[in-house]
Amino acid sequence: MGIILWIIFGGLVGWVASLVMKSDAEQGIVLNVIVGVVGAVIGGWLMSLLGESGVGGFNLYSFLVALLGACALIAIVRALRR
């Protein structure tokens, strides 16, 4: 994926993850992109532990894998803040 596509994909994933985890008011667009991109990496790593493929393109499976990773990232950050 190109860098522009990663930014768009990360923004979408980060925004949906912030809605799911109810942290949308705390995050801006830049943080949504960062959470989405890092979440995609974490989601790909988690899926590789399960023997599945990670994020491979702009499709529904990749979106769900990245969303899983982004939600895990938000949960970890929340746990560390407490």
Q: Residue 67's pLDDT band (boundaries 50, 70, 90)?
A: very high
- Give yes or no for a contact between 70 and 14, defined as CB atoms under 8 angstroms apart: yes
CA-closest candidate to residue 5, choices 40, 49, 46: 40
pTM summary value: 0.86
pLDDT in tens, 21-63: 988 777 788 888 899 889 888 988 888 888 887 777 778 888 8
Number of domains within the chain = 1
Please list, in sequence order, all residues whose beta carbon lies within 8 angstroms of the beta carbon of residue 38, skipping any fewer than 6 positions away.
69, 70, 73
Cα dihedral 42/48/53/55 (nearest 10): 10
Q: Which domain holds residue 18?
A: 3-81
Q: Which residue has the tokens 């491979």?
A: 56
